[in-house]
C-alpha cells in the first residue's frame, strides 16, 4: 500500500492512464538490478528511484574519479574517492527515502552473477566493457530474466531489450566479445556526457513501461536495437531475430 505522502510524490505518474494507482503499486513491488553505476547507470538510477521502483540493486566495483563527473551525474564532487556502488545508492536514497536501494561493491563475474541477479524482475546493463555485457546476457538468458543492455561512445549510443526465450539475445547479434584493441573505450575515444544521459534515460523509460506492461509490451525496445547518432540526431530502430545456432539461446535453449 502506498502512503499518503507517496501518493502525493507519485501523483504525476498516477494521473497517467497507463499507470494509475495500480501501476504505481506494481512499480513499488518491482525489483530492478543495475550492473554498472557509470554514465548510463547514473541517469537510469535517478529516474527509476524517482519513479518509485520498490527495490533497486546497484552493482559496481569502481571508485568515483574526477573524470567521471562529466557524465556520471549521480555523483557530487564530494563523492570523489568513494565506492560507486555505495555512493550511488546513498544519493538515490537522498532523492527518494521511500524505496530500498542496495549498493553492492563487486565485480560482476561468473561466480557471483546468479546470486547478484536473483529475484530481479528486470536487469539493466550499462557497463563499459564487453566481457560484462556478454556475461549479463548469458546469465539472464539462462535464468530467464528480462534485461536491457546499452552502450555509448563518442556521440553515439545503442539500447537493446531482451526477453529470454522470445527475443534475440546479445550473442545472436554479436556472437563473441571483440578484441580490446578493436573497440576503443570512453577513456581512449571520449564520450559526450549528455549522450550517456540520453541513453541511460531511455533505458529507465523503457524499464518503467516494461514493468507496467506485464511483459506484453510489443512496440518498445524488446526484440529491437535502437541506435542513436547525436551528431545528426538520427534514431534508427532495428528488429532482431533469434539465431537457431546461437550458443546461448538457440535450439538447445
DSSP per-residue codes, the chain: ---HHHHHHTHHHHTSTTTHHHHHHHHHT-EEEEE--STTHHHHHHHHHHHT-SEEEEEE--B--GGGGGT-TT--GGGTTSBHHHHHHHHHHHH-TTSEEEEEE----TTTHHHHHTT-SEEEE--SSHHHHHHHHHHHHHHT--EEEEEEEBTEEEEEEE-TTTS--HHHHH-SPPPGGGS--HHHH-B-HHHHHHHHHHHHHHHHHHHHTTT---SSSBTEEEEEETTTTEEEEEE----TT-TTTSTT-
**Band of residue 177 on the pLDDT scale cut at 50, 70, 90:** confident
- Bridge partner residues of 150 (DSSP): 159
Q: Which fold has domain 4-239?
A: Rossmann fold (3.40.50)
**Band of residue 52 on the pLDDT scale cut at 50, 70, 90:** very high
* Mean pLDDT of all residues belonging to the chain: 94
Please give the Cα distance from 76 to 80 (Å, whole number).
7
Q: What is the mean pLDDT of residues 39-45?
A: 98
Q: Long-range contacts: 81-84, Cβ < 8 Å, 24+?
A: 84/37, 84/38, 84/58, 84/60
Q: What is the pLDDT of residue 1?
A: 87
Pairing of strands 234-239, 224-229: antiparallel
**Band of residue 42 on the pLDDT scale cut at 50, 70, 90:** very high
Residues involved in catalysis: 186
Residue 252 has pLDDT above 90, yes or no: no
Please give the Cα distance from 187 to 42 (Å, whole number).
17
**Band of residue 219 on the pLDDT scale cut at 50, 70, 90:** confident
Q: What is the pLDDT of residue 187?
A: 73
Residue 200 has pLDDT above 60, yes or no: yes
- Bridge partner residues of 174 (DSSP): none
Please give the Cα distance from 136 to 42 (Å, whole number).
18
81 Rama class: left (phi>0) / alpha (psi -120 to 50) / beta: left
Q: What is the pLDDT of residue 215?
A: 57
Residue 21 has pLDDT above 80, yes or no: yes
Enumerate residues 6+ apart whose C-beta is below 8 A from 17. Answer: none
Amino acid at each position: 500500500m502506498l502512503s499518503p505522502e507517496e501518493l502525493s510524490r507519485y501523483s504525476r505518474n498516477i494521473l497517467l492512464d497507463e499507470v494509475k494507482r495500480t501501476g504505481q503499486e506494481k512499480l513499488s513491488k518491482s525489483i530492478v538490478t543495475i550492473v554498472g553505476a557509470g554514465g548510463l547507470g547514473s541517469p537510469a538510477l535517478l529516474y527509476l528511484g524517482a519513479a518509485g521502483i520498490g527495490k533497486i540493486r546497484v552493482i559496481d566495483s569502481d571508485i568515483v574519479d574526477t573524470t567521471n563527473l562529466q557524465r556520471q551525474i549521480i555523483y557530487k564532487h564530494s563523492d570523489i574517492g568513494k565506492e560507486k556502488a555505495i555512493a550511488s545508492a546513498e544519493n538515490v536514497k537522498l532523492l527518494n527515502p521511500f524505496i530500498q536501494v542496495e549498493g553492492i561493491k563487486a565485480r560482476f563475474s561468473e561466480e557471483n552473477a546468479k546470486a547478484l541477479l536473483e529475484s530481479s524482475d528486470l536487469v539493466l546493463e550499462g557497463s563499459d566493457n564487453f566481457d560484462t555485457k556478454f556475461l549479463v546476457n548469458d546469465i539472464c538468458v539462462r535464468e530467464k530474466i528480462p534485461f536491457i543492455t546499452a552502450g555509448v561512445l563518442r556521440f553515439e549510443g545503442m539500447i537493446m531489450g531482451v526477453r529470454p526465450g522470445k527475443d534475440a539475445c546479445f550473442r545472436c547479434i554479436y556472437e563473441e566479445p571483440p578484441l580490446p584493441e578493436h573497440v576503443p573505450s570512453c577513456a581512449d575515444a571520449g564520450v559526450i556526457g549528455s549522450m550517456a544521459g540520453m541513453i541511460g534515460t531511455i533505458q529507465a523509460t523503457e524499464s518503467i513501461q516494461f514493468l507496467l506492461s506485464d511483459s506484453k509490451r510489443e512496440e518498445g525496445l524488446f526484440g529491437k536495437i535502437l541506435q542513436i547518432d547525436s551528431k545528426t540526431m538520427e534514431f534508427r530502430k532495428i528488429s532482431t531475430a533469434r539465431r537457431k545456432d546461437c550458443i546461448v539461446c538457440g535450439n538447445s535453449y
